[in-house]
Chain A
Amino acid sequence: MTYTTHSESGTEALGAEFAKTLPAGAVVALYGDLGCGKTAFVRGMARGMGIDCVVNSPTFTIVNEYLGGEMPLFHFDMYRLGGADELYDIGWEDYLGRGGVCAVEWSENVPGAFEGDEIAVRFEKTGENDRTITIEGGPLTC
């Protein structure tokens, strides 16, 4: 399913709607270039999951944990990772088993991380304030 948003808050709203339907254990792989709105989308996801803390970029921290909602949201950013073999070092497998949702920015850097049951969300910049967002797999697709 493809959506177009025309503002950051539009992307956040889409993220919120999307996250409301996610089951525990869902893995959301986000793809797209710098400034495409991945972090904005995850901020929306947090709101949709009833989490109201600050959601900022995990580029340096690698993972932000948001625990204030009904289930945890683990916000990853693989921007600084060199490949899937570094997943072990950041404890990736441990997070999968913690009964929350994992949202992963820069998934293109860790092609080996996913097992095929992830939901892929692809971002494309189509104008200064326009983003085309394609969601593959998961509830909003059907």
Chain B
Amino acid sequence: MNILAFESSCDETAAAVVADGRTILSNEIFSQVALHEIYGGVVPEIAARSHLEVISLLADRALEKAGLARADIDAVACTYAPGLIGAVLVGVNFAKSAALALDKPLIPVHHIRGHIAANYLAYPDLEPPFLCLAISGGNTMLVDVRGYTDMRILGQTRDDAAGECFDKSARVMGLGYPGGKPIDDLSKQGDDRAYDLPRPAVNDGNPYDMSFSGLKTAVVNIAHHAQQTDEALDKPGLAASLCRAVSETLVGRTMDAAKALGYRSIAVAGGVAANSRIRADFEAACRKAGRTLYVPPLRLCGDNAAMIGAQGYYEYLAGHIAGPDLNAYATMEI
């Protein structure tokens, strides 16, 4: 079954064709991150208008790269929640018209479910149940994946996402935007005990909830203090200490949950999964605890449409199909 899939929930506009939820036939992405780098951080982007301009182009290119004609498409899937409403609507409306024109079913997909499904593309043998940590600029979420379309949030960030903590720390350290990669690179030359950073703890209520704003604020304070006192900032040391603090929190919570729920398989999804410290710590922890780790390659970690096509397949099998009255939603439970 060939699914033509669309993703437009935030900064990226993307179209892809995925066969049977597992095989990528094409995966086209238009990203504005390049613009970010030129402008140095805060930039013209997230434009619903720009999603609109590129989406039909991307759709044609996705078909062409897949080597398929329109008639070869069996269903159309799109992200319908959550996200910036104007942006999500562009994908939803385009997918609706495509489904109508092709006379094929329309499949709505939850964006975070899509991130989790990126693992199905990377690991053909992976099947639920498993535990998934979804970590990106906007999300930090521990999900109990009981079935392809049956999942529950075990815990999430109470304030900032892990990726946001990296980006904002990078900014006060003068490392540019996006900050994840430069912090990762710099941390490799630094001592991860150079700075004593707080371990974000959430003591009330849910043991799997997380917090990263205290860590962000600690890094901001250290950077400002160095500026005011003209002391040299040990940037590699700060980067390494930050990576260690974030990683210990994420890996710790995830391993605790895996133990409590008895999961053998742990998957990581989202852009922050690219961080080498987090990867290495997960690998070590899983080896020690005898659990299997799944981390998709970088190109499937960020927002993309192939992951929507993968999840779309399983939504279709579960009978989750929408009519032409499908709406977009800014917020939505997983």
Q: Which residues of chain A have a CB within 8 Å of any CB of chain B?
A: 33-35, 39-40, 43, 54, 56-57, 59-65, 67, 79-83, 86, 89-91, 109, 128
Whether B19 sits at the interface, judged by CB under 8 Å, is no
Which chain B residues lie closer than 8 Å to A34 at the CB level?
168, 171-172, 216-217, 220
Binary interface encoding of chain B residues 40-81 relative to chain A, with 1 for a CB under 8 A from any of its CBs, else 0:
001111111100000000000000000000000000000000
Known A-B contacts A34-B220, A63-B330, A65-B330; A86 and B161 likewise in contact (beta carbons under 8 Å): no
Give CA–CA (A98, B156) in the complex, Å: 28
Which chain A residues lie closer than 8 Å to B136 at the CB level?
60
Contact indicator B164/A59 (Cβ below 8 Å): yes
Whether B84 sits at the interface, judged by CB under 8 Å, is yes
Which chain B residues lie closer than 8 Å to A109 at the CB level?
42
Whether B138 sits at the interface, judged by CB under 8 Å, is yes
Q: Is the interface of A mostly helix, strand, loop or mixed?
A: loop
B12 to chain A minimum Cβ distance, whole angstroms, is 12
Whether B184 sits at the interface, judged by CB under 8 Å, is no
Number of A-B contacts (CB under 8 A): 93
Contact indicator A89/B47 (Cβ below 8 Å): yes
A90 to chain B minimum Cβ distance, whole angstroms, is 6
Closest residue to B50 on the A side, CB-wise?
Answer: A89
Known A-B contacts A35-B221, A39-B159, A128-B221; A57 and B213 likewise in contact (beta carbons under 8 Å): yes
Give CA–CA (A40, B214) in the complex, Å: 11
Which chain B residues lie closer than 8 Å to A63 at the CB level?
84-85, 330
Whether B190 sits at the interface, judged by CB under 8 Å, is no
Give CA–CA (A122, B187) in the complex, Å: 34
Give CA–CA (A89, B41) in the complex, Å: 18
Which chain B residues lie closer than 8 Å to A35 at the CB level?
213, 216-217, 220-221
The contact sample of 25 A-B pairs, CB cut-off 8 A, is A34-B172, A34-B217, A34-B220, A35-B220, A39-B159, A39-B160, A39-B213, A56-B159, A56-B161, A57-B213, A60-B10, A60-B164, A61-B82, A62-B10, A79-B42, A82-B44, A82-B45, A89-B48, A89-B49, A90-B46, A90-B48, A90-B86, A91-B48, A91-B86, A128-B221
Measured as residues with beta carbon below 8 angstroms from the partner, the interface class of chain B is 35 or more
Give CA–CA (A39, B45) in the complex, Å: 23
Binary interface encoding of chain B residues 213-257 relative to chain A, with 1 for a CB under 8 A from any of its CBs, else 0:
100110011000000000000000000000000000000000000
Whether B296 sits at the interface, judged by CB under 8 Å, is no
Closest residue to B159 on the A side, CB-wise?
Answer: A56
Give CA–CA (A34, B138) in the complex, Å: 17
Contact indicator A61/B216 (Cβ below 8 Å): no
Contact indicator A86/B46 (Cβ below 8 Å): yes
Contact indicator B46/A57 (Cβ below 8 Å): no
Which chain B residues lie closer than 8 Å to A81 at the CB level?
42, 46
Known A-B contacts A80-B43, A82-B42, A89-B86; A54 and B217 likewise in contact (beta carbons under 8 Å): no
Give CA–CA (A65, B85) in the complex, Å: 10
Contact indicator B83/A61 (Cβ below 8 Å): yes
Contact indicator B161/A57 (Cβ below 8 Å): yes
Which chain A residues lie closer than 8 Å to B221 at the CB level?
35, 128
Contact indicator B137/A60 (Cβ below 8 Å): yes
Which chain A residues lie closer than 8 Å to B157 at the CB level?
56
Closest residue to B51 on the A side, CB-wise?
Answer: A89
A21 to chain B minimum Cβ distance, whole angstroms, is 25
Contact indicator B159/A57 (Cβ below 8 Å): yes
